[in-house]
Structure formats: structure tokens, C-alpha cells
Structure 1
Amino acid sequence: MNVQKLVLSEYRNFEKASFSFNPDSIYILFGKNAQGKTNLIEAIYFLSHLRSWRTNKTPSLMRHGQESFTLECVVENSGRLESLKTIFSQGKKYLFRNGKPVSAFSNFVGILNAVIFCPDDLRLFSDPPKERRKMIDIELVKLSRSYTTVLSQFNKLLKERSTILKTYQVDQVLLKTITDQMIDAQVILIQQRVAFVKLLNEKMNEIFHNFSEGNETLTLRYKTCVDASADVRQQLVDAYAKSYDKDLKMKTTAIGIHKDDLEFYLDGKLVTQTASQGQKRSIMLALKIALCQVIKDKTGHHPVLLLDDVFSELDESRRAGLVAAFPDEIQIFITTAETVDPSWFNRPVHFYTVDHGVMKEGLYDV
């Protein structure tokens, strides 16, 4: 998968800009802070996920003084071209695929599959569990239509069950019906999460050896309310029966996949307790590159890899390990305020300088 063309209108500090890119190439976007280099890869990410990783306030993405923004791209996938366009205006997103309106987000998200690394990702280790669950869900939604459908059903059922528990006189029959439906949904979701984390863990460990020289072992553990290797459905049935009185008293659903977590271990110890900042950055980078490989295995196509300020806080050996871990056939965009040596790479690298929302080919004094 490659972005062939990207057009931005009234987005961040770009008034109107159009860029063309080559397949399977590395693009280094160089410049001082607040010049727009991160805005450019954010636009690619937005066309993939219909949101920014930097803010939940979509109106803030409009150029100052404007009332709308437009993002467009042409994506190449195995020789097939798809055009995507989104317009944000008056608080709404309007979507177009190959020139035709798209009503459902699910028919747009993931057509351009982009994976992002940014420094704030390091918070994932210490953030509440819901952020780690969100990471799993975001990726599985792009990879599995069935996961998307069942997750939506589960979230709806969870809200319904909470509403029932809060009523003065609980409808026992309705509560059981909703609970049974939730159990059925969770069996599917747990199975897909377990398979995803297992594959991600295998890929991640292979890649992490590039950073650790094989001296450290990285382990991902999916923490759920049941033993995923046994009869998941029966365990959930038993768990909800056991939690019944507590749920009625607390008026909430105490167990379920909405409480799950993803734990990171380095040499058998929690990353949050033992890892340095450099190790955490290396682990996160290994996670992102492993994610690219999982996507390739599942879809047959590499995603576009976006790396924001990736080289800071990495020593020379870890920088070399990062570059060595890049898959050969993947389009990569890297933002940096530091000089990058072209000899680090063994394939085409294009250097651009971003200065006040203007991107010029080559390295310039800015």
C-alpha cells in the first residue's frame, strides 16, 4: 500500500498544498519545530482513521480563521488506485470514495491503512487499561469486519445492561437475555484479541532483538477475566452468575472484556517498573513495526508507516537497529529535527525540508 498523492486545503498551517510520492520509499521530513512536518503525516493518519492522534477536537485542525478543511489522497494497493476525500465543515465529516459519497465510516476507515509512532505513545505503558484496549480495538477494527460488528454489538449491550441494573425493579428475564448475548459476543472478541496479541508478540520479539542485540526478552500478555485456553463461554457464564449479586448492588457490570488489559514485560518484569526511556521507546517502535507485519500477514499488504520525531532519545546502535527492522516493501514517512545520514538506508530515501507549511525537496538551512 502506498500514498501516491496527498492534497491538503485549509488544514493546520497548510493553506493549499499538493504532494506526490513514490511507492515503497522512505521520506524524511526535516525542519524545526512548529513548521508543519507533523501536520503532513497527521493528514495521512486522518485519512486512515478519520481522527487525529494529537487531539480529539477536530475543529482545531482547521487553518486559523477558516470554517472547514479538506483532505484528499490517492492510494495504490496491488496496482489498484483508490481516491479518498474527507471534508470537515460545520462539525460534520463528509466522506467520498472514488468520487462517490460514503455514508458509513466503516466503508472508509482502513482503505488507507496507516500506523503511527509518536513520542506520546510511550504513555501507553502507564496509561489506564482502556487506552491499551483501545489500541487493540483500533487495529482489529481495520483488520476484521466481524470484529467491528461484534464489538459494536457488545458496547451497545453493555450500555443496555447498565441501564437495566440502574432501574428500581430489575427485569430479571431481560437482564438474563442481555447477559447471554454479551457472553456470546465476548467469546468471539476474546478469541480474536488473543490471536492478535499472540501474533503481535511473536513479531515484536523478533524485531526487538534488533534493538537489544538479543540480550532482552519482550513479552505481551493479554489479561482477561477468563482462561482463554479453556472453555471461554462456560467460564463467562459462571463468572456472571458469581458476580450477579454484586452487579445488582453496585448497579454496574463488574466483569467482562471492558475490563481487560495488555501487559508489557521485559525479561519477566513489568516495563513500567524496570524499563528506561530508551528501552520504552525501543519497545514501542518494535510494537509498531510488528503491527505493520501483522497487517501484511492478514491483508497481504503493508500499511503506510508514519514515524514522528523517531530518532530523538535513540543512541546510534538503536537507530541502526530501527532502520534494520524496517520491512523492505513499505512506504515510510519520518519527521525529524535532526540531520539524518542517507547511508543508514539501503533503499530510496527522499529528503524534504518543511518551513512554515512549505515543503521543498532536499535539505535547506531553516
Structure 2
Amino acid sequence: MIVKSLSLSNFRNYNRLFIEFNQDINILIGDNGQGKTNLIEAIYLLSVGKSFKTHIIKQMIMFDYDFAKVKGEVISNNKKRYLEIILGNDFKRAKIDDQDIYKISEYVGLLNVVVFIPDDLYLVKGGPRNRRRFVDLELSKISPIYVFNLSKYNNLLKERNKYLKVLNKKNINSDEYLEVLDEQLAKLQVELIKKRINFINKLGEKVKLIYQMISKKDDEIIDLCYLCFLKNEINYENILSMYKKNHQRDIRYMQTHIGIHKDDLGIYMNGNIADLFASQGQQRTIVLAMKVALIELIKDEIGEYPVLLLDDVLSELDETRKNMLLDILNQKIQTFITTTSIDGINHQIVEKAKKIYIKSGKEVT
């Protein structure tokens, strides 16, 4: 996949911008606060319809304007496409080739990107919510049916939690509508859990190999596994049974205590929890291996490499990890790198890269 050009209107600190990119390496250079990360964010927005920085749409719209627009010309499956996201203070619209799109499952996947930001270095030591979000976002890019089912699950979960408050006020232990919601959630989760397990297993196989390639240490074994709320066989009956057993507790506390929204991605080194037993350097190598493995997994699933976005990450990596990453990028992947200076990047990749200098929301020469 390739992003050929990007057009911004009233997005962040960009009033108007049209910019063309190299199909290999693009280095965005500028001081902090000039708009480098905003360009990375715009490309990511075109991919999944969301920002990796905020969930508040208004923050992405330039001050004193009512809307923002991000449009990109991309090459996907050897076909030229135009993707567009329009943001308003109280709305968000997506377009493909100037045609309105009403289902996110029809949009996600046309442009696949992998973003690597400094906060990702805390993926190992952070909470389960961060890891769930990672799994859901990355799996959504390669499976439209997963996007569709996950959206249905989240809507049903909101409805169930809302209804639990009604039952709590009426002091009712259960009723038919709650059981209907249980049944619908149970059916959805069977497929969602299977998708997650399959994704994590495939990713884990690649992470194990790539980690050893980066670290050069055969005695450090990395394993990923899915930590599911359901400990016995994953089927509709077992999930439904758990919901029924938890009715009273759920009604008392007015929230759903079990389900995939509570699950986690387990990351282990030599059988021990990496958060507790891996050093900071080892944890960073694990995350780097996960990102590289994700690139390869997406290639396996959809037949082409995603676009890679590196937002100020190189400054967070030591020379060995930095060069290993750049060696991998040097081979096959369109990449966008933000940095305040290229002086510290001692790699041949800099010579062939397109260097784009950004100042105050503008490209400067």
C-alpha cells in the first residue's frame, strides 16, 4: 500500500496543504509543535477513521473553523483510490472515491497502516485496556467482519448496562429482555473470541522469531496468549451460563462484569509475565518485535504491506534497535518518520529518503 498524496483543510494547525510523498521513505523534519505528528495523525485517520491522539473530534479542527477535511490518494491492491474523512463539531463522514460511506466496516482496510509512537513502548507495562485496544484495532484492519461484530457487541453492551440500571431501580433480579441481551452477546462473543485467539497465535509466532533476530539471544523466549474471561470451552452455552450466574451482581453494581471487554493480551518472557520480569530494554525490544511482526502478519493476510508511521520513535531506541528497524524498513515498506533532526540517524536510509521540512503547519523548502 502507498499513500501518494495528502490534502488537508483546517486540520489541526494546517489551514491548507497539499503534499506528495515518496513511495519508499519519507522523513518529516521540524521542531516540536510545528505539525509533524499532525501529518502522521491525518494518514492514520484515513486508515481507520479515528485518531491515535484523541477521541474528541473538535480537537482535530482548526480553531475558529466548523469543519476539517483530510483526503488522500492511495494505491491499494494495485488500484488508485481516494479516501476522505470530513470532521464537523458534531459529525464525522467518510468517503471512498467521492462516494459517502455509512458503515465503518466498508471503509476500514482500504488503507492499512501500522503506527509506532513513544506511548507504544508502554504496551507491555500498561494496563489491559491498552492491549485490548491494540488487538481490536489491528484485527479490525484485516477483518471487516470483526469490525462489524465488535461494533454490534459494544452497542449491545451499552444497552445491557443501561438496562441493568433500570432493573436496579425496580429491584428486579432478572427478566426476559435481560436474557435476550445475554443471548445476543453470547452469540457474538463466540466468533469474536475465536478471531482474537487466531490473531494472537499468529502474531505470537512471528514475535518469537523477530524478537530473537533483534536481541540476538536464543535463551529469551517471548510468548503471547489470549487471557479470556471464559476458562472452559469457548461456546455459546458456557458464555450464556456465566451471564445468568452474574445477573444479581451485575444488577447490583449496574454494569456487566464479564465479557471480552474485560479480556487481556498476555505477554511472557521465558514463561514469566514480561511486565514484571523483563528489563526496560527487553520490554522495548518486545514492543518493537510486535510492531514488525504486525507488518508481516498484515502482509500475510491481505497480500501487501501496510504503510508504517513512526512518530518520534527513533529517538527512544538505542543504536542497535534503531538500526535493526531501519534495516527492515529499507527493504519493502512505505514509511513516514517524524524527527526534530536527521543528524542522529546514521543509516543509508536517510540518503534515499524524501525529506520534508515542516514549520508552523506548512511545508518549507
On whether the aligned pair clears a TM of 0.5, the verdict is yes
- Cα 1:357–1:174 change in 2 (3 A) is closer
CA shift in 2, pair 1:165/1:99, >3 Å: closer
Q: Give matches, 1:38-77, under 5 Å.
A: 38-77=37-76
Give the deviation of 1:318 after TM superposition. 1.4
| Aligned residue number for residue 357 of structure 2 | 353
Q: One-letter code of the match for 2:16? A: K
Partner-residue secondary structure (3-state), 2:289: helix
Structure 2 counterpart of 1:96:
95
- Residue by residue, what CA displacement relative to the aligned partner does 1:237-279 show, whole Å, maximum 9, x if unpaired? 4433543444454443322212111122223332322334433
Please state how far the C-alpha of 1:321 moved relative to its aligned partner. 1.7
State the match for 1:212 in structure 2.
Answer: 215
Structure 2, gaps ≥5 residues long: none
Shift of the alpha carbon at 1:89? Answer: 2.9
Provide the residue aligned with 1:222 in structure 2: 226
* TM-score (normalizing by structure 2): 0.88
Contact preservation (8 Å) 2:13, 2:62? yes
Structure 1 residues 232-247: aligned runs within 5 Å: 232-247=235-250
SS of residue in 1 equivalent to 2:63 = coil
Change (3 A) 1:149 1:94: closer
Instruction: Name stretches of at least 5 consecutive residues in structure 1 with no aligned partner.
Output: 362-366
Q: Specify whether residues 243 and 34 from structure 1 end up closer, same or farther in structure 2 by C-alpha distance, changes over 3 A only.
A: same
**After alignment, is 93-102 or 321-330 more displaced?**
321-330
Deviations 1:160-201, CA, capped at 9 Å, x for gaps: 433444412345333333222222211111100000001111
The total of aligned residue pairs comes to 359
Map Cα deviations across residues 131-171 of structure 1 (whole Å, 9 max, x no partner): 32122112222222221222222223333433444412345
Structure 2 residue matching 1:125: 3-state secondary structure: coil
Asked if the contact 1:210/1:322 (under 8 Å) is kept, the reply is: no
In structure 2, distance between residues paired with 1:256 and 1:142: 22
Deviates more, 1:180-189 or 1:322-331: 322-331
Residue 223 (structure 1) shift: 0.4
Q: Separation in 2 of the partners of 1:146 and 1:107?
A: 10
CA distance in 1, matches of 2:213, 2:304: 23
Cα shift readout 1:281-324 (whole Å, capped 9, x = no counterpart): 32222222211222111111211110011211322211122123
CA-atom RMSD in angstroms: 2.5
Shift of the 276–31 alpha-carbon distance from structure 1 to 2, 3 Å rule, reads: farther
2:109–2:144 Cα contact (<8 Å) kept: no
1:364 aligns to what?
none
1:308 corresponds in structure 2 to: 311
Structure 2 CA distance for partners of 1:186 and 1:13, relative to 1, 3 Å? same
Q: TM-score, with normalisation over the residues of structure 1?
A: 0.88
Identity of aligned residues (%): 37
Give the letter for the 1:351 counterpart: K
Tell me which residue corresponds to 1:267.
270
Letter in 1 for 2:319: E
